[in-house]
Structure 1
Amino acid sequence: MNQKSAILYMIIPCYNEEEIFQDSSTKLKNKLLDLMKQNKISGKSKICFINDGSRDATWQMIVDAHNSDPIFSGICLSHNEGHQNAVMAGLMTAKKYCDVAISMDADLQDDIDAIDQMLDKYYEGCNIVYGVRSSRETDSFFKRVTAEGYYKFLEFMGAHIVYNHSDFRLMDTKALEAMSQFKEVNLFLRGIVPMIGLKHDYVYYARKERLAGESKYPLRKMISFAWQGITSLSTKPIKFIANLGLGISIVSACVFFWALYRYFMGETILGWTSLMISFWFLGGLILFSIGIIGEYVGKIYLEVKHRPRYIISEFLDDNKEQL
């Protein structure tokens, strides 16, 4: 492909990002203008901010940016749909207007200079380029250990993901069309994109500290997101329950015969403590197992209703008028 013909759309999900919007939008604009000067991307390339139901002035700032410079595009979701749905909304909207899309978070902790290498690999023929962190030195010890453990646990549970990759990636129109065929409501893009296959490569970068504002992924949301990934990509937890139940049944049968033997030998002893421990253990195990199964049933319930993953209330983009 002629590099001058490649239209790039930057997909930037935003939720209450008024504190960093001005800085991020300026840096992204300068990066795109520099890429245009190098003839790496078309002059029709855009920075597309997706407002995911922000409660602050984020959307108004997006509107003002678009009105002042057409390089900025904006999508406003009707209400908060979550980070993954916001990214999906941006990608699925942009695929009609671009040759290649790059998604990244609004805080720009992911290195925008890695975009140059991503485009180089795209022009070499890659359909997908993953941005992968070279290290986790900027993370706290707790976050570093839990994140690395999470990736390993996902692999153990049968979910094939890219280690130390978040949602900083390049996808061309072929990859975007392939992803549009995934219709599930419970989105976990880090697991879905590797399922697409196609030709892919990696770009390594050092993640930066957040400039301002609070992280949109505190511990509670990180745990929820981790659980979403596991239950959306793998059925191993249910298989684990079945195997655990089988194992406990075998142990119970052994205990039964042992207790029967003790009874006929006249060696039975009333054991209130052991009985209570057994009841509490088995009761907790049963509730835990029902909870996991209920999680899957809940996801099935959401899928069969076929509700839209997002609703776009407004779309600001000059390119749409040229189609």
Structure 2
Amino acid sequence: MKLFIIVPCYNEQECIEDSVSKLLAKYEELRRNGVVDEGSRIVLVNDGSRDATGAICSELYKKDERIACIHFAGNFGHQAAVLAGYHYAADRCDCAISIDADLQQDIDAIDLFIEEYKKGSDIVYGVRNSRKTDGFFKKLTATLFYKIMKIFGSTTIANHADYRLLSSRALKALREYKEVNIFLRGIIPTLGFPSSIVHFDVKERTAGKSKYTLKKMMTLAANGITSFSISPIHYIFYLGLFVLAVSIIVIIVTLIDWIHGVNVSGYTTIVLSIWLLGALQLIAIGIIGEYIGKNYFESKHRPQYLIEKIEDRSVMVTKE
């Protein structure tokens, strides 16, 4: 079969050559075992890197015909880079596997992905066995994120990042999703094709540092929650009803005290009420604004990404 491995790259000059070398060795192993054919590719997606990553990717392409490169015109984000690789692979392969450029995800799990694909799975999710390589804060926030997504009714797979296999059928179906706010971990489970899970161990990063900063992780989490559920707006409404009920009770108690001539200073109550209600209002406005902002960007119909050039010996495209 023809397999494409999608590798999103952003400022990965320290590790990209070593990672590609390991992936090529895995390809050669699969080819010797008769699993993949000569048309298989490693697709490097350069997400507008500011270091030498783009140049290194081009040099790797020139040295090995099994490598293809997609160069973005700017930085569109990790999710857009993975999506671009999927779009490119959809009509060119039997299945595609996405994996991070640092290869912290165990590449030997690729064999298990392929086994599940041959059994009939159009989607195979890579789920990490543990988060022991994560720091305390990242581990805590990741756990909270998946729990919140579950509460809000999302079908996100816990502890699954973007290490997965998609069949050609699933890749083509994914092209029908046109939203600008991309959250693949939430989109792909909605495709509905037969799926399975493969567990793998996460390794320590051998070079460079993670490009997923706290800000990017928070943005991804916000996209995930607000792109697939309107439950936060429902909860705001219910919270408003609760605050209204409490307010009515406070008003009744205050009137009764006033009728009986009880002196009520009310200073502490008023201050606490102002701070509480002010905080709730700001939170409510922020959440509602998040949804309005998403509608604003979606209504513009801007492209999910822009490609400067594609380097692939099977098809030479300079602009898309």
TM-score range, shorter chain: over 0.9
SS at match of 2:8: strand
Q: Which residue of structure 2 aligns with residue 3 of structure 1?
A: none
- Could you tell me how far apart the structure 1 residues matched to 2:95 and 2:293 are? 35
Query: Deviation at 1:207?
Result: 0.5
Q: Which residue of 1 aligns with 2:152?
A: 157
Segments of structure 1 that go 5 or more residues without pairing to the other structure are 1-5
User: Offset at 1:253?
Assistant: 0.9
CA distance in 2, matches of 1:292, 1:57: 39
SS where residue 14 of structure 2 aligns?
A: helix
Return the offset for 1:274.
Answer: 1.6
SS in 2 for 1:102: strand
What's the TM-score once normalised by structure 1's chain length? Answer: 0.96
Q: 213, 216, 219: which one pairs with 2:211?
A: 216
Q: Structure 2 regions of 5+ residues with no counterpart?
A: none
CA contact (8 A) 2:91 2:172 kept: no
CA distance in 2, matches of 1:52, 1:219: 19
Residue 115 of structure 2 corresponds to residue 124 of structure 1: no
* Stretches of 4+ aligned residues off by more than 6 angstroms: none
What is residue 289 of structure 2 aligned with on the other side?
A: 294
Match of 1:141 in 2: 136
1:140 positional shift: 2.1
Corresponding position: 1:235 with 2:221: no
Output the TM-score relative to the length of structure 2: 0.96
Match of 1:266 in 2: 261
CA distance in 2, matches of 1:18, 1:241: 45
- CA drift of 1:59 comes to 0.7
Pair 1:76 & 2:57 matched: no
Give the drift of 1:218. Answer: 2.4
Equivalent position SS for 2:15: helix
Which of residues 236, 241, 246 is equivalent to 2:241? 246
**Aligned letter for 1:19?**
E
For residues 190-223 of structure 1, what are the alpha-carbon distances to aligned partners after superposition, in whole Å with 9 as ceiling and x for unaligned? 0111111111111111111111111111223222
After superposition, the CA RMSD in angstroms is 1.1
Residue 191 (str. 1) matches residue 183 (str. 2): no
| SS of the residue 1:320 aligns to | coil
Question: Does the CA-based 8 Å contact 1:186-1:299 persist in structure 2?
Answer: yes
Aligned residue for 1:56? 51
Per the TM alignment, residue 64 of structure 1 is displaced from its structure 2 partner at its CA by 0.6
Distance in 2 of aligned mates of 1:107 and 1:142? 21
Residue pair 2:125, 2:163 contacting (<8 A) in 1 also: yes
Distance in 2 (alpha carbons) for counterparts of 1:198 and 1:96? 18
Per-residue Cα deviation, 1:259-292 (whole angstroms, up to 9, x for no partner): 1111111113122222111112111211111011
Asked whether the 8 Å contact 2:19–2:102 carries over to 1, the reply is yes
Q: Which residue of 2 aligns with 1:34?
A: 29
Q: In 2, distance between residues paired with 1:136 and 1:279?
A: 41
Aligned residues: 316
Amino acid at match of 1:56: D
What is the match of residue 42 of structure 2?
A: 47
Aligned to 1:25: 20
Q: Is residue 91 from structure 1 mapped to residue 86 from structure 2 by the alignment? A: yes
Q: Which residue of 2 is the match for residue 226 of structure 1?
A: 221
The one of 295, 299, 307 equivalent to 2:302 is 307
Partner of 2:198: 203
CA distance in 1, matches of 2:117, 2:275: 57
CA shift, 1:257, in A, is 1.1
Aligned 1:160-179 pairs, distance under 5 A:
160-179=155-174
